[in-house]
Structure 1
Amino acid sequence: MCRGDDVNCPDFEAHFRQFKEEINPGRRGFLGAGLMGAGTLAAAGATGGLSLVTPALAQTSAGNGPSTPSYHYLPANSDTVHWGYFSKTLKPQVEVDSGDIVTIETLTHHAGDDLERMVQGDEGAESVYLWTKDKKGVDRRGAGSTDPSVYKIGSGDGQGVHILTGPVYVRGAEPGDVLEVRILDCAPRPCANPEFTGKSFGSNAAAWWGYHYNDMLGGAKREVITIYEVDATGDKNWAEAVYNFKWVPQTDPFGVTHPTIDYPGVPVDHSLTSRNYDVLKGIRIPIRPHFGTLGVAPAEAEYVDSVPPSYTGGNVDNWRIGKGATMYYPVAVDGALLSVGDPHASQGDSELCGTAIECSLTGTFQLILHKKANLAGTPLEEMDHPMLETQTEWLVHGFSMPNYLDALGATAHADIYGKSSIDDAMRDAFRKMRKFLMTTKGLSEDEAHSLMSVGVDFGITQVVDGNWGVHAIVRKDLFSGRA
């Protein structure tokens, strides 16, 4: 019997919705209507209205996969996640064809801040966060060494922090191709602790890597974590603070003491903290569920720190990368190797204090492969950076260093953190938007400069990820007067 996993079933859509409700009771209505049928998905976006994928390219790319897409489900557990890094060496967790639909569970790497609310009772999260004096559910956390004689604070040394589910191998994907990732759904992962039924929770850490940290009033530095509550039933579309606490040194189960938030997943012992429940009273934060880290594997190194974003995407941290958006990524390795994580319930542009509301989510994606041979003369030709498309806008992402891995070589992981510059990120975003307007919209350089000044919005994506980001937004309706 189809349980939402057979797109050939005539009742696929109904069975899919029922399956989603079974695994996520309280999900109904949270973000509006349910998923469209598979046939509708294949036609959505690419053929309607202004899109980077022209109708001709959409028709050609449809031949890169089977006529009817398949459905896949990838849960998050200790066997399916990699913590703190992208890698072209990873074994795929699932293989898909172009056009296939895959639902992927993602876990926040900050769940250790409140195990009771974000881990307890959740079998997948418990397997990932398992840490006793004898064992860790996921030992390596970061792109650093796994040799106990080399690492200082734990395997991987925290050189990268995000829990990433995957990778997903896209059959036929090769370097030079472009992978289109349509985000069909994005929903909070309900708390599995019966004490908090119908709720989800997230953590916001105002941490040492935050932009604010060296500018504290009075000069006293501190790391403060705020726990937020999200309504998973759909009755409320906002988050509210539950409590905050100041980080105090924590000793992990292996006996290593962490005076600061220097290693992901350290379980916080709240008998050592002082929780303040009188915080942000009466303030409602609009929910904008999205994936902070989504991208394909780079080719330049075997293990790549998950924190700095780059030309293959990764930790872009743009709150617009949520339901209804489409991302385009240049494929750098065979199979593309797409991974997703760093789920957020909400974030502001800049992610100023270091994190968003870090909250576990489940997303559903459709993956479309566009072959290099078919890109000539299309807007995707020479696509060498991550690009975001919504129903109404196009966004390019500029970074302090567009491809820091190539530019900095063997020491890129360490050196990029000293190279961040808003000036450089702004210049990269400006150059990418200029190229987009000239090559995709046929503007002259002078026309592009004028339009960017009067009709394009530049914003600070983030100033906390080692490779800082600036995005440029151009509305599609600016071109509505054209034939």
Structure 2
Amino acid sequence: MLKKLALSISIATSILSFSTFSSAEDFKILKQIESKPTFLKKGEYAGHYYIPSTLNTIQWGYLPNKDAKPVLTVRSGSHVTFDTVSHEGLLEDQGRDAEKYFTSKGVKKEHILDEAKLITRSNLKHDFHKDGPHIITGPIYVEGAMPGDVLKVEIIKIEPRVPYGVISNRHGKGTLPEFPKRQKHDHASPENPDAYGNVSVFTPIAQNKEGVWEGVIQTESGKAIRFPLNPFMGTMGVAPNTSEPVHSVPPSFYGGNIDINDLTTGATAYYPVQVPGALFYTGDSHFVQGDGEVALTALEGSARATFKISVLKAGKNHIPGKQLSQPLGENGEFWITPGLDEDLDEAMRKSTREAINFLVNEYGISEEIAYAYLSAATDFEVSQVVDKTKGIHAMIRKADFKEFIEQK
């Protein structure tokens, strides 16, 4: 039975090769622009600061803390473009060999990012069992940012760098403890990755008849599941005020691996500054993620992320909700208040309290009215349940408060 199941999984993960899709050949691979962090004076991103993912600009499995050395200093109000590298396809249970892993799925060598090859071929230490999986790029020092201020991060554009990603399910990591059903062996290692018993589904992206890019999962029957993309950065945040190592998996008051799929192109995230310069970072790019992220990962792949990063000074600039003790999000339609806790019920309570506090401070209404409104008109969504600290966020519709905005 186990052999039959393993064969089924093998078919599901390998029958669809990258070369199956002619549209993949039309995809523009977003290669590294410069080898070092710099200010770009020409090209498509002229006027942007640029941060590549090199061995000098990344951390693998941990977030920057207050002692992290910034890779670049930028002015408030600057546009900053990060080239990030996804950890999927690079981890030990995938062989820690980006070229070998992706070529085994039919990807041509020239369609594999040089940075991914460099990271997996390097001596950069990474403990699969102890460290977080994420490759984090940064941090950058933002001039003028001080504790008590808020860092405003406007998400200008998230662009897939390659036309493929990976969806993974690992033992003890997803929502369902019985998955994956493959057996795990003690002799698992990067040299023997199958012994981990984990499941990674290589997933190309391809254009449909309308020219829109979709994720494509081939099934055992030969028929494909196709679903729309919504690229966003799973991890964004500022450094916490600690010298202790900060694991990349659980999100917290400083942001990190918050995995809210509404924080995509056109949205804005706000982070309470913890240390001078804020020390902003990003990584863990997702091509698309369902609410919950139940298997463990979303469709994850390397992306280029462009932000406008500004400092909102305490007592001087308008800070949504007046003051923040944790991240806040917004897009054109909604305010987004996260709740984070290891217990999903408590995460729900925290999100509700954050939503009440926000409405009271932003619009001057009573707590009782805010609570009643949230119950009647606000959806609470599960962002993820697989990052140790679970997340629920309220989606507060801005249009419902148009009279307050007009009055202002």
* Mapped pair 1:433 → 2:355: yes
Structure 2 CA distance, aligned partners of 1:301 and 1:380? 29
| Secondary structure of 1:372's aligned partner | coil
Contact 2:152 2:309 in 1 (8 A): yes
Q: TM-score, normalised by structure 1?
A: 0.65
Name the residue aligned to 2:168: 205
Of 215, 222, 228, which aligns to 1:239? 215
Name the residue aligned to 1:47: none
Question: How many angstroms does 1:364 deviate by?
Answer: 0.7
Question: How many angstroms does 1:111 deviate by?
Answer: 2.1
Structure 2 unaligned segments of length 5 or more: list them: 1-26, 31-45, 95-100, 185-196
Of 70, 76, 83, which aligns to 1:105? 83
Name the residue aligned to 1:126: 117
Of 94, 97, 102, which aligns to 1:115? 102
Name the residue aligned to 1:384: 325
Name the residue aligned to 1:228: 203
Matches within 5 A, 1:390-469: 390-400=331-341, 420-469=342-391
Q: CA RMSD in A?
A: 2.6
Contact 2:182 2:198 in 1 (8 A): no
Name the residue aligned to 1:144: none
Contact 2:142 2:277 in 1 (8 A): yes
* Mapped pair 1:83 → 2:5: no
Task: State the one-letter code of the partner of 1:390.
Answer: N
Name the residue aligned to 1:52: none
Identical-pair percentage = 34
Contact 1:294 1:339 in 2 (8 A): yes
Distance 1:130 1:438, change over 3 A: same
Q: TM-score, normalised by structure 2?
A: 0.77
Structure 1 CA distance, aligned partners of 2:292 and 2:157? 24
* Mapped pair 1:281 → 2:223: yes
Q: Deviations over 1:359-389 (max 9, x none)?
A: 11001111010112315x7535221111111
Matches within 5 A, 1:217-366: 223-231=198-206, 235-241=211-217, 278=220, 281-366=223-308
Structure 1 CA distance, aligned partners of 2:263 and 2:85? 17
| Secondary structure of 1:90's aligned partner | coil
| Secondary structure of 2:225's aligned partner | coil
Structure 1 CA distance, aligned partners of 2:52 and 2:108? 15
Structure with greater strand share of residues:
2
* Mapped pair 1:162 → 2:134: yes
Structure 1 unaligned segments of length 5 or more: list them: 1-23, 28-68, 142-152, 191-199, 243-276, 401-419
Distance 1:469 1:301, change over 3 A: farther
Of 144, 147, 150, which aligns to 1:175? 147
| Secondary structure of 1:424's aligned partner | helix
Q: Deviations over 1:428-456 (max 9, x none)?
A: 00100010111111111211111010111
Structure 2 CA distance, aligned partners of 1:384 and 1:232? 42
Matches within 5 A, 1:26-37: none
Name the residue aligned to 2:43: none
Contact 1:325 1:391 in 2 (8 A): yes
Contact 1:86 1:298 in 2 (8 A): no
Contact 1:206 1:355 in 2 (8 A): yes
